[in-house]
Amino acid sequence: MKPISFTSILVIVCVFANVSNAINSVEEDIGSGRYVIEGRVVPPEEQEQSNWQIQTRIHVNGGEYIGFIKEDGSFAIHNVPTGSYVVEVVNPDYMYDPVRVEINSKGKYRARRVNYIQTSQVIQVPYPLRMKALSRFRYFQIREQWRMTDFLFNPMVIMMILPLLLIMVLPKMMNDPETKEDLKQITNLAKMSEMPEMSEVFTNLFGGGTTTKASKAKQIKKRQ
């Protein structure tokens, strides 16, 4: 009979522990050196996101312990032993600052900012935690908008418009006769190296095609 009665005492102890937990809303030691990290996530400002609670999780030490948040944004991570933990709010769209929570062997909590470079620096934050969204993640590049100036300074457009200006506008601006004479000379010169007439091009292509080809072939031979 003895061992049985012993176990019954144990069971009663266990029952009492559980009852007291329920009453004290679980903040202190549960008995085996396990603690609860508590806090609240403030929902992001823009509330167009329906059920953001589902999207948001609490990671302790990168997923060693995972917490889920309730409708009102509160969360509790149960059964955490003493130690130092990085508590992160994971949401795919909003950025939250992580917090380092330290639980000492007496069950005292300390929450401070995470600083990976100066690890001994302590900037305390209130506990129970209150996590606020910093900003929305910007994952994407922004496409350039169509603007008139962009179009005008486009090299191809400049290539079209500038010669037009040179040809049409410039001669009219210069009414001075001397320059006109000069221009005439230039145009006369240009006539020599003028672009071929369409008809000439075609006659060359079809009529004299063979000769040009032959001459080309000769040239190639020479090069070789």
Partner 1 sequence: MCIYEDQIGKFDWRQTYVGRIKFSQFDTVSTARKLIVATEENVLAALHLKTGEVVWRHVFESASTGNIQLLHVSDKVVTVTGSNPYLVRGWDSTTGILLWEWSLTLQDDDRADFSEWWVHQGLLVHMLPVFNSHIEVTMYNLLTGQNRGSTSKLPAAWVNDGCVLSPPYYSCVSGNMGAQRLLSIDVTSSKVQLISQPLFDYLSLDVFEGTLKPLDGNSVLPAFIIDDKKIVIVKDNNFEALNIAEMSASVTIVEGLNGPMVLQAWTDDNQGFKLSAHSVSTGKEVSEIKCSDPALRIPEPELGAVLCTKTGNDHACRIVVNGADDAIHLMQQGGRVMWSREESLANVVAVEFVDLPVSETDAAIESEFDQKEGSIWAGSVRRLHSQYQQLQTLLASLQSDRDVVHSSTEDLVRDYFNLHKIIVLVTEVGKIIGIDNLSGEILWHHFEGALDTEAVAIFTRRTARHPPYDAYLSIVGKHQESGNGLIISLNPITGELVGERVLQVDGRVLQCALLHQPDEEKLHGLVLLYDDESVQVFPVSSEHLVDDMYLYVAEAESAKVQGYALKYNGRTAIAQKIWSLDLGSGGHRIAVSASRAAQRTHSPGRALSDRSVLYKYNNPNLVLFITEGPDPVHKDVVRAVAVDGASGAVVSGAVHRRARATPLAVHADNCIAYVYLSDKYRRVEIATMELYEGKERWGTPGAPFSSFSSARAPAAARQAYIVPAAARAPRAAALTVTERSLTDRHLLLALSNGAIMEIPWAFLDPRRAPAGGGQMGVGEEGVLPYLPELPLPAEAVLNYNRSLHRVRSLHTHPAGIESTSLVLATGLDMYYTRVAPSKTFDLLKEDFDYHLISIVLVALVVATYSTKYFASRKMLKMAWK
Least spacing, CB of residue 176 vs partner 1, in Å: 18
> What tokens does 76 get?
């509790």
Residues 124, 109 contacting (CB under 8 angstroms): no
Least spacing, CB of residue 143 vs partner 1, in Å: 5
CA distance 145 to 22: 59
Signed CA dihedral, 121, 125, 130, 132: sign only: negative
> What tokens does 54 get?
């589902």
Residues 80, 117 contacting (CB under 8 angstroms): no
**C-beta closer to partner 1: residue 157 or 189:** 157
**C-beta closer to partner 1: residue 199 or 224:** 199
Contact residues toward partner 1 (CB under 8 A) are: 4, 7-8, 10-15, 17-19, 21-22, 26, 30-32, 34, 36, 51, 53-54, 57, 59, 61-66, 68-71, 76, 78-79, 84, 86, 88, 90, 92-93, 95, 98, 116-117, 119, 137-143, 156-157, 159-160, 164, 167, 195, 198
**C-beta closer to partner 1: residue 63 or 208:** 63
> What tokens does 152 get?
């005008």
